[in-house]
């Protein structure tokens, strides 16, 4: 059972787990005792080595808290500048990049991706992906909307039980980093990834059903062609530099390695080392920038991104995107008749709540999580944005995707 004891400052101080806080200039920094108790309980049970947390309300500056260390062997104290693998929390960033190109008039939401990637001009669909790759012509084109919302008919190499995913593995269509010892060869470039992916049949017709896959990775190739820039350069120019996200990228430079957090597999025997700095695969340049799962970031950096979304495209005095662009990004973009898991909606790279959930988040909340123990959300109904970063795999091994927001909203209700 998770330890939900309240936050007791004396006990935390004596244990060396005093949170690091960045005070908002216009108000006292609130405390989050329920979240602190939850996180410290996970640490006491050695389920996580520590966690960093950022939350912003209305237009106040974000507050930061951190507990624990960068590794079970203690390492560095965590803080808002500790660097984490955010895996699928990359997807909302890629979604935002696509929305900027739509704002620029260089992309359209319902545009055929074959306009940029000719290999997808005649997509095919596997007749029975559980049995073979035998295929038929798709009933319609793959669009930008489909890539944004996991409705393109693509799958992922990590999903077992179908021949399409097996073909992904055999062809190096694995757009993520895990560790040096076990990672297989990959397509050598984003262009090669797109070309190879076009050769494999889909598991369903585009726009028919929600299925988790590599759509946001393929969207990186569309962004390259539409913008005329390398995908990672576009992210830097339009998002990372304007938002001062200086520690966000697809590789960890050696000078930043002391701030890079260890990654663990959570097994029945406890946390097992999986990717340990400095001997980490993130020290190497990836084959290409993975738009679905490739980024590393910090609580400080990512909270600037979520603050921009809550601020309707504005961060401080800087206009990053138009209000209508931010609103569209966080709206339900699923094709008619399609639902995401749990009957929810889906926007540009993240879930959109269209039905009540017991986390406390409001209807319309835009959120997503990473397999390595990270999560973010933007709740316009409650005027809050939050980022919680730990480092364990897989995230579903613990109920944190529900427990963390629930704890945060319990704390907020008492402030």
Cα–Cα dist 134/115, whole Å: 26
Q: Is residue 54 part of a domain?
A: yes
Residue 167 CB-density burial (10 A; 0-12 exposed, 13-18 middle, 19+ buried): buried
Give the pLDDT of residue 357: 92
Cα–Cα dist 18/195, whole Å: 50
Q: Is residue 22 part of a domain?
A: no
What's this model's pTM, rounded to 2 decimal places? 0.92
Q: What is the CA 325 to chain-centroid distance, rounded? A: 19
Residue 158 belongs to domain spanning: 33-413
Give the pLDDT of residue 15: 35
Short-list 307, 396, 302, 367, CA closest to 86? 302
Q: Is residue 108 part of a domain?
A: yes
Q: Residues 379, 361: contact at Cβ < 8 Å? A: yes
CATH number for 171? 3.40.710.10
Q: Is residue 6 part of a domain?
A: no
Give the pLDDT of residue 27: 55
Give the pLDDT of residue 29: 67
Cα–Cα dist 252/258, whole Å: 10
Cα–Cα dist 331/328, whole Å: 5
Q: Residues 17, 40: contact at Cβ < 8 Å? A: yes
Q: Is residue 373 part of a domain?
A: yes
Give the pLDDT of residue 75: 76
Cα–Cα dist 309/326, whole Å: 6
Distant-in-sequence, close-in-space partners of 269: CB < 8 Å, separation ≥ 6: none
Q: Is residue 16 part of a domain?
A: no
Give the pLDDT of residue 28: 61
Short-list 340, 299, 307, CA closest to 326? 307
Q: What is the pLDDT along the chain (415 residues), one digit of tens a residue?
A: 333 333 223 333 333 333 333 333 445 667 899 999 999 999 999 999 999 999 999 877 899 999 999 999 877 899 999 999 999 999 999 999 999 999 999 999 999 999 999 999 999 999 999 999 999 999 999 999 999 999 999 999 988 889 999 999 999 998 787 776 676 788 999 999 999 999 999 999 999 999 999 999 999 999 999 999 999 999 999 999 999 999 999 999 999 999 999 999 999 999 999 999 999 999 999 999 999 999 999 999 999 999 999 999 999 999 999 999 999 999 999 999 999 999 999 999 999 999 999 999 999 999 999 999 999 999 999 999 999 999 999 999 999 999 999 999 999 999 8
Residue range 211-231, pLDDT digits in tens: 999 999 999 999 999 999 999
Q: Is residue 27 part of a domain?
A: no
Query: Using N-to-C axis directions, what is the helix angle for 215-227 and 90-104, rounded to 10°?
Result: 30
Residue range 82-131, pLDDT digits in tens: 999 999 999 999 999 999 999 999 999 999 999 999 999 999 999 999 99
Q: Is residue 184 part of a domain?
A: yes
Number of compact structural domains in the chain? 1
Tokens 């927001």, residue located: 405
């Amino acid at each position: 059972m998770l330890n939900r004891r309240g936050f007791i400052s004396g006990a935390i101080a004596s244990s060396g787990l005093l949170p690091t806080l960045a005070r908002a200039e216009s108000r006292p920094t609130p405390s989050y005792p329920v979240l602190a108790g939850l996180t410290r309980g996970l640490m006491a049970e050695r389920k996580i080595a520590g966690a960093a947390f950022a939350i912003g309300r209305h237009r106040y500056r974000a507050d930061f808290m951190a507990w624990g260390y960068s590794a079970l062997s203690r390492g560095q104290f965590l803080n808002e500048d500790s660097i984490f693998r955010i895996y699928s929390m990359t997807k909302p960033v890629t979604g935002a990049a696509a929305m900027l190109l739509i704002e620029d008039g260089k992309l359209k939401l319902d545009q055929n991706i074959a306009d940029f990637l000719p290999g997808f001009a005649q997509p095919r669909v596997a007749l029975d992906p559980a049995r073979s790759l035998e295929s038929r012509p798709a009933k319609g084109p793959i669009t930008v909307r489909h890539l944004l919302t996991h409705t393109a008919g693509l799958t992922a190499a990590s999903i077992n039980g179908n021949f399409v995913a097996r073909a992904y593995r055999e062809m190096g269509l694995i757009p993520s980093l895990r560790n040096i010892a076990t990672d297989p060869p990959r397509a050598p470039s984003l262009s090669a990834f797109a070309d190879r992916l076009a050769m494999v049949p889909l598991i369903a017709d585009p726009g028919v059903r929600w299925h988790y896959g590599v759509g946001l990775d393929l969207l990186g190739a569309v962004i390259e062609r539409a913008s005329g820039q390398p995908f990672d350069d576009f992210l830097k120019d339009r998002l990372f530099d304007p938002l001062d996200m200086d520690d966000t990228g697809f590789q960890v430079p050696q000078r930043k390695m002391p701030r890079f957090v260890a990654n663990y597999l959570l097994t029945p025997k406890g946390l097992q080392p999986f990717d340990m700095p400095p001997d980490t695969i993130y020290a190497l340049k990836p084959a290409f920038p993975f738009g679905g799962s490739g980024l590393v970031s910090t609580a400080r950096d990512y909270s600037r991104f979520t603050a921009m979304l809550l601020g309707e495209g504005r961060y401080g005095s800087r206009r990053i995107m138009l209000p209508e662009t931010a609103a569209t990004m966080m709206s339900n973009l699923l094709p008619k008749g399609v639902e995401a898991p749990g009957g929810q909606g889906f926007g540009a790279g993240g879930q959109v709540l269209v039905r009540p959930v017991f986390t406390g988040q409001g209807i319309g909340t835009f959120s997503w999580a990473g397999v390595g123990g990270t999560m973010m959300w933007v709740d316009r109904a409650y005027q809050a944005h939050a980022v919680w970063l730990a480092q364990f795999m897989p995230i579903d091994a613990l109920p944190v995707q529900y427990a963390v927001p629930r704890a945060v909203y319990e704390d907020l209700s008492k402030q």
